[in-house]
Amino acid sequence: MTTAAPSLSDVAPAAAAETILAVNNIEVVYDHVILVLKGVSLTVPKGGIVAILGANGAGKTTTLKAISNLLHAERGEVTKGTVEFEGQRVDKLTPNDLVRRGCIQVMEGRHCFGHLTIDENLLTGAFTRRDGNAAIKRDMDMIYDYFPRLRQRKGSMAGYTSGGEQQMCAIGRAMMSRPKMILLDEPSMGLAPQVVEEIFEIVRTLNEKEGVSFLLAEQNTNIALRYATYGYILETGRVVMDGAADALRENEDVKEFYLGVAGADRKSFRDVKSYKRRKRWLA
């Protein structure tokens, strides 16, 4: 009997397409003692959009930071498992080296430099590049084409722009490193539904037109499963379920616990308890 999480589809994304990112059974410990990720595995196909879903504290941010090697700043460490980007081990690289290879994280809370203009913020995203000012200028124009709102605000200090514009600025800045893959942490956080939709539409466009693969962490299961093709549900540091986005959206337990949909035959508390027991089995 295996303890692996149930998969809702027979074909894992890795089997269907070339894999750009593979996380293999990683364990993460903070402060040498706090075990937060307990054997997380996931894959992102080249050109895919994959979501990591889960409630507060499930381990979504920790998973992204483990991939992008940003855990050291948090006194965190990957103590087991491996991370492969384009088939090569990257778990011992610095975050900058990983950016040079084409994988970059957009942090939770859309960290822009508040005292710099939108234009200057975008420019800071090009710091790992060596291909000259003309190419950088071309890419700035491209970013403004994808984010017309940023073009309007290009001379404004980022700190005075709206939350949605700051999120766009953070994604645009990441795009300036010419990434093959973006790790996007909680893009919907604190934003109005319409703005969230606008941002996810741009993510989809960047994915389709620029071929950027995305791994996004979201508490907002509903929107994430509309734009991602595949999802992993994390609970207390473990993947408890994964599957194609459509299959997850139709799954009764996902509907009940993550989409907030209660059908006519709303589950009784006893069912809920048995679900929790089942989850312990899965864990």
Binding region for ligand ATP (CB under 6 A): 30-31, 34, 36, 54, 56-62, 74-76, 108, 186, 219
Q: Which residue number is nearest to Mg ion in terms of Cβ?
A: 61
Query: Which CB atom, from 239 or from 244, has the smaller least distance to Mg ion?
Result: 239
Q: How far is the CB of 175 from ligand ATP (least distance, A)?
A: 23
Binding piece for Mg ion, criterion CB under 5 A, among 88-96, 103-111, 125-133, 154-162: 103-111
Q: Which amino acid is at 207?
A: N
Q: Which does 135 bind (CB under 5 to 8 A by kind): ligand ATP, Mg ion, none?
A: none
Q: Quick check: 230 and 217 in contact, CB under 8 A?
A: no
* 30 vs 146, beta carbon nearer ligand ATP: 30
Binding of Mg ion at residue 62 (CB under 5 A)?
no
The size of the interface with Mg ion (CB under 5 A), counted in residues, is 3
CB 95 within 8 A of CB 120: no
Tokens of 234: 């994390």
Which residue, 74 or 271, has its beta carbon nearer to ligand ATP?
Answer: 74
Shortest Å, Cβ 185 to Mg ion: 6
Site for Mg ion in 149-168 (CB under 5 A): none
Edge-first strand order for the sheet with 238-244 is 103-106, 181-185, 213-218, 49-53, 230-235, 238-244
188 interacts with Mg ion by CB under 5 A: no
**What's the sign of the alpha-carbon dihedral 27, 225, 280, 61?**
positive
Residue 56 interacts with which of ligand ATP, Mg ion, none, CB < 5 to 8 Å by class: ligand ATP
- Cα–Cα distance, 157 to 253 (Å, whole number): 45
CA atoms of 87 and 99, how far apart (whole Å): 16
Give the tokens for residue 174: 């990441």
Between 80 and 115, name the residue whose CB sits nearer to ligand ATP. 80
- The answer to whether 69 contacts Mg ion (rule: CB under 5 A) is no
Is 61 a binding residue for Mg ion by CB under 5 A? The answer is yes
Among Mg ion, ligand ATP, none, residue 34 binds (CB under 5-8 Å by kind): ligand ATP
Half-sphere exposure of 134 (CA within 13 A, CB side): 0
Distance CA 138, CA 146 (A): 13
**Per-residue CA distances from 167 to 78, 109, 135, 250 (Å):** 28, 8, 24, 30
- CB of 127: closest distance to Mg ion in angstroms? 25
DSSP 74: G
Q: In the complex, which residues of this chain contact Mg ion (CB under 5 A)?
A: 60-61, 108
